[in-house]
Amino acid sequence: MKRIPIAGPWITSLEIDYVNDAVANAWYDNANIYHFRFEKAFADYVGVAHAVSLPSCTSGLHLALAALGVGINDEVIVPEITWIATAAPINYVGAIPVFVDVDPTTWCICPDSLEAAITPRTKAVITVDLYGNMADYDRILAIAKKYNIRVIEDAAEAAGARYKGKNAGSFGDVAAFSFHGSKTLTTGEGGMLVTHDRALFDRANFLRDHGRVPGDFSFENSEVAFKYKMSSMQAALGLAQTERLDELIQKKRAAFAWYRERLSGIPGLTMNDPGLDVDATYWMVSIVWNESLRLNKKDVANALAQHGIDTRPFFSPLSSLGAYQHLPGIEACRARNPVSYRLRDCGINLPSSLGLQEVEVDFVCEHLRQIFLKS
């Protein structure tokens, strides 16, 4: 059995044709033609009015915070279980990240933990649609309205997922997506900011191009801002992938179903659980096991790696990272966010490439069963 990668794209002749055309023709007056097409197609898919193509989801979250006016000493709430890219932009704008717990079933932000963390300094919450799942947005939006805080949706991992029939990225004030090479929809590197709010869209467009109005050629910058743009070749690739997004999602869901069938019945083992209200897209197929099994995620990953099976660890709580040990009161997070700390050592992501074959899932699950039945 060849090595089974953790992630990877599905590229067809459509993507290659679009990128070749961009390389040949997307210059001068046509320089932005693929950007416009990609942004419109993606906005239409998500169900929002506006989209801005960017070099990463991180830049999208940074622009969202800046466009909303979040700044020095404001507090922004973020769930513990996510990649640091969710929280780092909070520091970029001089604000303070406040870490809260996740729901034990969905692994997304816990509404009760969110509400308990709100103070007079809270300006926004960044939700995270973890591994293609989605949070309880009815409760989150109600809490945000009650306390007059802004909602930024980190939909980096959830293109095409739905909560009560609405697409990831269509909740709250603004959202950001990732198109990293590992994602379901990829441009190699890249991202997108989406919003219903025209004023916020205009502000983000202004800030992403060194503080000038789009289309202005006078070079009279009125603010010091940022340089966050995507190349035409990336936009062409993204357009083709958007046109195929339903097909890509079907492949992800099929892979999850293969795993679920083969891993069901293992005592103490659970998989991604979207609940009744969510149509998840399973960017990563993830497993979490009961602490009583006394298995460490590094040991499980190493055992699988010996058979050529790539995995990646479940995210560690942000408050446990060295990058945030300087924050006042950071030591209290472990007691305040027990679910996140329980998950830390008891979960991994399994191979979830769009090129994954059913026979490879058989191979992975055979070795997983051996590990868990011996524990």
The domains found in the chain, sorted by start residue, are: 13-243 (3.40.640.10), 246-374 (3.90.1150.10)
pLDDT one-digit tens code per residue, 39-68: 999 999 999 999 999 999 999 999 999 999
pLDDT one-digit tens code per residue, 195-221: 999 999 999 999 999 998 877 778 889
Plot region of 174 (φ>0 → left; ψ -120 to 50 → alpha; else → beta): beta
How far apart are the C-alpha atoms of 173 and 68, rounded to whole Å?
9
Phi (first) and psi of residue 34, to 5 degrees = -75, -30
Average pLDDT over residues 278-297: 95
Quote the tokens at residue 287: 């497993």
How far apart are the C-alpha atoms of 187 and 229, rounded to whole Å?
13
pLDDT one-digit tens code per residue, 145-168: 999 999 999 999 999 999 999 999
Q: For position 1, what pLDDT does the model report?
A: 66
Res 335 pLDDT > 80: yes
Instruction: Give the confidence band of 360 by pLDDT, cuts at 50, 70, 90.
Output: very high
Instruction: Give me the chain's average pLDDT, please.
Output: 96
Q: For position 375, what pLDDT does the model report?
A: 67
Select from 88, 151, 100 the least CA-distant residue to 123: 151
pLDDT one-digit tens code per residue, 264-284: 989 999 999 998 899 999 999
**pLDDT > 70: percent of the chain:** 99
Average pLDDT over residues 7-14: 98
> Hey, which residues are catalytic here?
183
Instruction: Give the confidence band of 294 by pLDDT, cuts at 50, 70, 90.
Output: confident
Q: For position 213, what pLDDT does the model report?
A: 83
